[in-house]
Amino acid sequence: MIISQLICLLGFVIRLSNAANATFTNPILPGFNPDPSCIFVKEWDNTFFCTTSSFLTFPSIPLYASKDLVHWKHASYAISRGDQLPELYRNSELQTEGTWASTLRYRDGKFYLITSYVSWHDGWGPIILLLTTTDPYDDASWSGPIRFENPEKEIDPDLFWDDDGQVYMSVARGIFIHRVDISTGKILETFTVWNGTGDRNPEGPHIYNKDGYYYLSIGEGGTETNHSAVISRSTTISGPYEGYESNPVLTAKNTDAFFQTVGHTDYFQDATGNWWCVALATRSGPAWEIYPMGRETVLSPMTWDEGGWPIIDPIQGTMSGPLPPANTDLPGDGFWAHGGDEEDFRPGTQIPRQFLFWRPPKESLFKVSPAGHPNSLQVLPSRANLTADSQFEPLEDGMGFISRKQSSSVFQFTVDLEFDPKDADEEAGATVFLTQYQHIDVTVVNTRSCSTGELEQKFRFRPEALGKPGVKVPAARTITVPQAWAGKRMRFTITLDESQTYHFTVAPADKPDEELWMGSASTDIVSGGSGPFHGTLLGVFATSNGGTGKTAAYFSRWRYHPLKQEVESGVFLPIKE
């Protein structure tokens, strides 16, 4: 271990001395962007492409593009229609279901993305899916998916083409390599090759053919603070594979590093032959308690000498490497991964590309600039609220919830609401959402007075922490909507400060200085628990809470301003949009 660390440190020092190097900050894909797989495609104007996991968010499986490894723009979603994967409509108490780790590859003019849909609906039985496109900037161009055989019921599929044209799919846990028919998903031959160094959960395999060897890179140790990346190699695809004596090649375990849970790597070269590593990491420090954005994508330079083993610089918030020249000239109408929002829902526009649902939406619940309410997003109330219930049917009921990823350590999120509820228990407002069992809401709700029986509108602050028993949760709080505010648009504001505390206020939209403080809550409420693989979403919702209400909520002037990123414990850098 000491020799391995010295080698990594030497590589880092050499890079720092290279005058051509430039600094960059991690994460490169901030917020809920775990399990990265990245490639460089010369034929597409020397562009890098990365994909990350989605779980139950929808559209699913984002593809990002970059020219310089620093500025990343959303290109497309591999799954943008519910009928591509109807299983996503399933209701389950387990919030970790959905689309897990993918592998992205390019060959002969076509992008290939192989992934797994994971569910415990009928017992453990992941479905392996292959999607392809010839235009990475067009959602509609993604074909499929083709459903692959999966006899081991495994996850984290990888695709590899050998020099003879044969195609291989490797899968986790206890690594299997299958020779496959890529046109049908049929398995033609199977090899059991390597279980890693003996740690638990060997997963996330990727195969690379280099210098006469087949290198097999995997993650192990679980995706918590024991996570690490290890590697082996063989002179034949079927093995035997010999592990690197200085494994792991990348980890943060047993360190006090701010970036923890480091692993699930993928390796690629740039236009000049430099090697790069992407991995997932959590900005939590070794305590692993506060990490509301969950697992994010980080980048590190690496060396991989001929006939040797990869040497990867340890993950830090600020790093140096031989970056391509700065370049933001990318096509498409996507959003920037580090960017904010200024959405006014103008007539004739669509739901913004960065907006996400929890499972495929019931589309009739959402409309941009409906008649009589221009420059607003109409959200009709769903029967179920954010926590839902055992009778919740995602396809039929839908969830009146729409969101975007929290992508910065310090931010301000504001949205205006026009809402005049008529029936009891109608509710609409804003939320910080990790899962159905962990969210923090500030809303307008129609309640019945205990003394008079009359309906009255209340502002309500309410944290939900069913998914994390034992966490300290502030008490719910209600305030009667002031009479002078009745009938006015309300402005909801959520801020996150450097102490990692969310603050919630409400105010008349035309007098935002007259705000009422509704409550504050620590980010540990939305860290881990029922969403250990997830990151927080910032959004709005409307619900009848199981009642008969049909009153629409109209949201407008949606603003998300990312202000600072924490790059080391207690070190915050301003974000330049």
Nearest to 302 by CA among 249, 359, 230: 249
Q: Cβ–Cβ contacts within 10 Å for residue 211, how many?
A: 12
pLDDT of residue 102: 98
- Based on the domain organization, do 292 and 216 belong to the same domain? yes
Q: Cβ–Cβ contacts within 10 Å for residue 189, how many?
A: 12
pLDDT of residue 22: 96
Banded pLDDT at 148 (limits 50, 70, 90): very high
In the numeric block, which tokens belong to residue 315?
């993950």
Nearest to 114 by CA among 178, 40, 190: 178
**Boundaries of domain holding 411:** 341-574
pLDDT of residue 3: 47
**pTM for the whole thing?**
0.95
- Based on the domain organization, do 433 and 285 belong to the same domain? no
Residue 328 lies in a domain: no
Rounded average pLDDT over 186-211: 97
- Based on the domain organization, do 361 and 503 belong to the same domain? yes
Banded pLDDT at 19 (limits 50, 70, 90): very low
Q: Which of 45, 93, 389, 514 is catalytic?
A: 45
- CATH code: domain of residue 155: 2.115.10.20
Q: Which tens digit of pLDDT belongs to each residue from 66-110?
A: 999 999 999 999 999 999 999 999 998 899 999 999 999 999 999
Q: Mind giving me the DSSP string for 269-323?
A: E-TTS-EEEEEEEEESTTTT---TT-EEEEEEEEE--TTS--EEPPP-SEEEE-P
Decide if pLDDT at 388 tops 70.
Answer: yes
- Based on the domain organization, do 188 and 121 belong to the same domain? yes
Residue 287 lies in a domain: yes
pLDDT of residue 448: 85
Share of the chain above pLDDT 90, in %: 93
Domain boundary pick from 268, 289, 321: 321
- CATH code: domain of residue 363: 2.60.120.200
pLDDT of residue 20: 72
Whether omega for the bond prior to residue 421 falls within 30 degrees of 0, making it cis, is no
- Based on the domain organization, do 71 and 191 belong to the same domain? yes
- Based on the domain organization, do 317 and 361 belong to the same domain? no
What is the signed CA dihedral for 137, 143, 147, 153, rounded to 10 degrees? Answer: 10
In the numeric block, which tokens belong to residue 136?
């990475």
Decide if pLDDT at 47 tops 50.
Answer: yes
C-alpha angle 534/538/543, rounded to 5°?
Answer: 105
Residue with the bigger pLDDT between 12 and 193: it is 193
pLDDT of residue 577: 64
pLDDT of residue 486: 86
Residue 395 lies in a domain: yes
pLDDT of residue 290: 97
- Based on the domain organization, do 347 and 313 belong to the same domain? no
Measured CA to CA, the distance from residue 107 to residue 100 in angstroms comes to: 23
Residue 296 lies in a domain: yes
Residue 143 lies in a domain: yes
Q: Which tens digit of pLDDT belongs to each residue from 237-294?
A: 999 999 999 999 999 999 999 999 999 999 999 999 999 999 999 999 999 999 999 9
Residue 334 lies in a domain: no
Q: Which of 68, 97, 203, 416 is catalytic?
A: 203
Place of tokens 């949606």: 558
- Based on the domain organization, do 30 and 132 belong to the same domain? yes
Domain boundary pick from 321, 352, 370: 321
- Based on the domain organization, do 143 and 278 belong to the same domain? yes
Q: Which tens digit of pLDDT belongs to each residue from 399-434?
A: 999 999 999 999 999 999 999 999 999 999 999 999
Residue 156: active-site member: no
Rounded average pLDDT over 378-391: 96
pLDDT of residue 123: 87
Residue with the bigger pLDDT between 189 and 173: it is 189
Mean pLDDT for the chain?
95
Nearest to 41 by CA among 208, 270, 335, 326: 270
Residue 211 lies in a domain: yes
- Based on the domain organization, do 277 and 401 belong to the same domain? no
**How far from each other are the two terminal CA atoms of the chain, in whole angstroms?**
40
pLDDT of residue 432: 99
Structural domain count of the chain: 2
Looking at residue 452, what DSSP letter applies? T
Rounded average pLDDT over 429-452: 93
pLDDT of residue 280: 98
Residue 336 lies in a domain: no
- Based on the domain organization, do 347 and 312 belong to the same domain? no
- Based on the domain organization, do 558 and 506 belong to the same domain? yes
In the numeric block, which tokens belong to residue 325?
């020249």
Residue 203: active-site member: yes
